[in-house]
Amino acid sequence: MATIPPSPRTELKHSLVRRRTVLAGASALPLAAVNLAACTPKDAFRAEPNLSAELPRAEPGPAEGAGSRAAPFTARMLGAIDRAEVNAVCSPLSAQVALIMAGMGAAGSTRAQMEEVLGGSMEELAEDANTLSQLLATVGDAERKLDDDEAPEPARASLVNGTWLQEGFEVQQAYLEDLATWFGSGLFEADFTDDATREGAREGINDWVAESTNDLIEELLPEGILTADTRLVLVNALHLKAAWPEELTKGGGTFTTAGGEERSTEMLHGSTSTWYEDETCRATTLGTYGEDLALALVQPVGELAEVLDVWAEAAPEPGSGLAALLSGLEASQAATQLTVPAFDIAWESSLKGTLESLGMTDAFGSGADFSGITGAPDLVIDEVVQKAVITIDEQGMEAAAATAVIMTETSAQMPDQELVLDSPFLFIAYERTSLAPLVVGWIGDPTQTR
């Protein structure tokens, strides 16, 4: 893909206090201003949370490295989801952030297990989540300041949180302070014990998720998932939309599935300037207008499952596996011709079994200890659900994901390359400074659409 030459746009971007280096100069998002601001159409919740700590949101940390704990968890979760799915898209980052909100109130072995699976201490993870949220909120700011009618639409991204609590349920002040400091969130109260008000709460939460994801995720919580025993619902919503600097060309093509079946499909063609290759895969990156976001496209050398296994096994080693691929792409310079199918897919799943398989078992069991939330070990995670979507076409990409945690009581210069993705491949949408994977998955048949 052609690189935009130095221009007044570049000079303006350099003159802004950008999050390419340190976000400490960026103003912290006010409590609930983004993620808890609007009433639902059914007026299920107030404009402001019922319970909140009078604390400002923490200043973000350095952008570089803020994704270092997100990448290993992404590799492990991506490797653990059901591989029977022909196409898959998920956001381990969204799941990670929602679980961090719960984990800030965990204690004992429950907290230790969650920290082991999520990849760091809760304090480190919360700091990363805060930085990434405020980092994504600045995506496209420089391009919007340019106000160039002839340029592509500026990119935008968001990573926001919402929390709903059974009314009358007591919460520790320290937990409210953590929500305010690291997640910019307070607590809405709802009555989950009554059938009618519980349904209103479910619809209100779903409306909040839809608004936060540009209506891409319309019903995160299905009917019946909340019960009279529900006490706390923690939700994270992720959305991103970005245009390619130049439109890709499109034409007919053929995609071969893992089973050897050929599918006629629309193919997109363009040029990129990155390349990565190791013993299991080869990859390139589609950059976006403004250069904040990118889409890595990964072709396995052998089977797709081999890449998933290698990434999952490498997760404990910092900077290896998936992290090595993303950093290698950002460091590379290689003219590459790309062919990739357009795709439009959706995915939804319970993550409870996936998280238990990764070692997070206490949080779901009778011995769970979330006493940091309530002051007594009387909460347990009942379910973790996620929905995600992604669309790739000649103009750009748009993706969204939402996760709910429901708690109940009781390299060197390379020669020209070519990457033709006409058989199963993986994709990773990521933020380029932090190298945080945002939305990931694979394509086994691009003709199967949502």
Here the CATH number for the domain that contains residue 190 is 3.30.497.10
If asked whether residues 340 and 439 sit together in one domain, one would say yes
How far apart (Å, rounded) are the C-alpha atoms in residues 26 and 100? Answer: 23
62 assigned to some structural domain: no
**146 close to 14: Cβ distance less than 8 angstroms:** no
What are the residues whose beta carbons fall under 8 Å from the beta carbon of 43, sequence distance 6 or more? none
Q: Which of 8-12, 194-198, 219-223, 421-425 has the lowest mean pLDDT?
A: 8-12
Looking at every residue in the chain, the average pLDDT score rounds to 89
pLDDT of residue 430 exceeding 60: yes
54 assigned to some structural domain: no
If asked whether residues 137 and 263 sit together in one domain, one would say no
If asked whether residues 190 and 136 sit together in one domain, one would say yes
Write down the pLDDT at residue 204. Answer: 96
**213 close to 158: Cβ distance less than 8 angstroms:** no
33 assigned to some structural domain: no
Q: What percent of the chain has pLDDT over 90?
A: 80
Average pLDDT over residues 365-377: 88
How far apart (Å, rounded) are the C-alpha atoms in residues 240 and 424? Answer: 24
pTM: 0.88
Residue 224 DSSP class:
T
If asked whether residues 199 and 213 sit together in one domain, one would say yes
**284 close to 419: Cβ distance less than 8 angstroms:** yes
pLDDT of residue 364 exceeding 80: yes
52 assigned to some structural domain: no
320 assigned to some structural domain: yes
If asked whether residues 250 and 340 sit together in one domain, one would say yes
**CATH, residue 259:** 2.30.39.10
Split at pLDDT 50, 70, 90, the class of 47 is low
If asked whether residues 286 and 262 sit together in one domain, one would say yes
Average pLDDT over residues 180-205: 95
Average pLDDT over residues 65-74: 96
If asked whether residues 338 and 353 sit together in one domain, one would say no
Q: Which of 45-59, 232-246, 406-420 has the lowest mean pLDDT?
A: 406-420
pLDDT digits (tens, 9 = 90+) for 21-45: 333 333 333 333 333 333 333 444 4
Could you write out the DSSP letters of every residue in 143-191? Answer: HHHHT-TTSPPPPEEEEEEEEEEETT----HHHHHHHHHHH---BEEE-
Nearest to 72 by CA among 117, 37, 38, 42: 117
If asked whether residues 264 and 164 sit together in one domain, one would say no
Residue 24 DSSP class:
G
If asked whether residues 353 and 313 sit together in one domain, one would say no
Write down the pLDDT at residue 20. Answer: 32
Q: Domain range spanning residue 284? A: 244-344+412-443
How many domains does the chain contain in total?
Answer: 2
Split at pLDDT 50, 70, 90, the class of 145 is very high
If asked whether residues 317 and 366 sit together in one domain, one would say no
Q: Per-residue b/e over 390-428, b at no fewer than 16 CB within 10 Å?
A: bbbbeebbbbbbbbbbbbbbeeeeeeebebebbbbbbbb
pLDDT digits (tens, 9 = 90+) for 257-283: 999 999 999 999 999 999 999 999 999
How many residues appear in the chain? 450
Nearest to 406 by CA among 326, 350, 356: 350
Per the listing, tokens 């080869």 go with 282
If asked whether residues 418 and 338 sit together in one domain, one would say yes
For the chain, what is the radius of gyration of the CA atoms? 21
Helices (H) and strands (E) in the chain, counts: 12, 16
Amino acid at the residue 327: S
pLDDT of residue 13 exceeding 50: no
Amino acid at the residue 73: F
401 assigned to some structural domain: yes
98 assigned to some structural domain: yes
pLDDT of residue 242 exceeding 80: yes
Q: What percent of the chain has pLDDT over 70?
A: 88
Split at pLDDT 50, 70, 90, the class of 132 is very high
448 assigned to some structural domain: no
Extract the tokens encoding 63.
């952008």
Does 45 or 390 have the greater pLDDT score? 390
Write down the pLDDT at residue 41. Answer: 37
If asked whether residues 220 and 282 sit together in one domain, one would say no
Among the residues of 280-351, which ranges form H helices?
A: 304-314, 322-331
Average pLDDT over residues 236-263: 96
pLDDT digits (tens, 9 = 90+) for 318-346: 999 999 999 999 999 999 999 999 999 99
**398 close to 439: Cβ distance less than 8 angstroms:** no
